[in-house]
Amino acid sequence: MKNYLLLLICFALAGCTREEQHHREVMNKLDTLENNLSVIGTVSTNAVVRWAYANRSDINMAIFQWTQAKLEEAKTVEKLPPEQEAKVADYEKLRTELMYKQMRMPLLRPLRADQVPAEPTAEQKEYDALAQKLADAKVPVADVVDRRDRLAAQYRETYSVERVIGEYVNGRYDVVVDSSQKVLYRSAGEVPDITEGVITFFKNKQRTL
């Protein structure tokens, strides 16, 4: 019996020793993690982030107005025959009408494999008919429409808001926040608003091209 009790005491002591060792290992790991976080916090605190605000909507509108003016200039240079220009105008009118109709229509959910397509609604039939009418209207003026669309796409890519702001900032700021969105907190006078500066920079740059 004594031997049995002694054996139990030995197992208990061994278990306590393992638990203490495990506890020390865990505490050492926590100390290391805490030290690492302290270093990261110090670096983050000491780093100076240069902030600025810019109203994306205002800048985008200025770019849009300029690109529309340039597109109109390009149309004038083309000097299309009056009848062809009229067909292009009809196509653009139909495209605008289809776009607005698409915006008003509810989003269509994709069908599951076991679902049977529902009967098209009157609105869907009207939309499909207008889409077909637009496709037919494009046929005689497809080359003109595609050329103008490519030019518009080129302007959108070349003069995107992000690219224009990036060129204006040119390393002076690290982060530019869109002020047209809800800003939860803003210190008065500490963060500049560069909206007007970006717009002026863009317009001046186009005058020199």
CA within 13 Å, CB half, 84: 12
Does the pLDDT of residue 148 top 60, yes or no? yes
Does residue 125 contact residue 147 with C-beta atoms inside 8 Å?
no
Structure tokens that stand for 69 in this block = 């003016």
pLDDT band at 11 (very low <50, low <70, confident <90, very high): very low
The crossing angle, in degrees rounded to 10, of helices 195-207 and 56-78 is 20
What is the rounded CA–CA span in Å between residue 79 and residue 77? Answer: 5
- To the question of pTM greater than 0.85 for the whole model, the response is no
What is the rounded CA–CA span in Å between residue 172 and residue 188? Answer: 20
